[in-house]
Amino acid sequence: MATFIDVHSGMKGVTHDQLLRAHQEDQKLEQKEGVRFIKAWADPSTGKAFCLSEGPSKEAVLRIHQQAGHPTEEIYEVPVAVE
């Protein structure tokens, strides 16, 4: 299982409800690909959003985002993490 951060653009003005709905769309589909969408953050002023997920591959994360209607080119596998 790998960890991923993906980046979305074009979400200027996004509200908590809108982000929650998008995240829940991903979560409804995630079992099909063995992905788990853990958390998402958004900046309404620039329209950037970041999702943290775990799954078998970048392609699996992308397929869920595509099926949920919000694909992104920017999916990074982040095997290095510190706190």
Binding site for a second copy (CB under 8 A): 3, 5, 7, 14-16, 19-20, 23, 38-46, 48, 50, 52, 76-83
Q: Which is nearer to a second copy, 58 or 63 (CB)?
A: 58
Do 79 and 1 contact (CB within 8 A), yes or no? no
**Both tokens of residue 20?**
């929650």
Q: Which is nearer to a second copy, 50 or 71 (CB)?
A: 50
Amino acid found at 63 = R
In the 8-state DSSP scheme, what is residue 42? E
Smallest separation (angstroms) from a second copy to the CB of 7: 8
Find the helix or strand (DSSP H, E) in which 19 lies: helix 16-29
Q: Which is nearer to a second copy, 25 or 33 (CB)?
A: 25
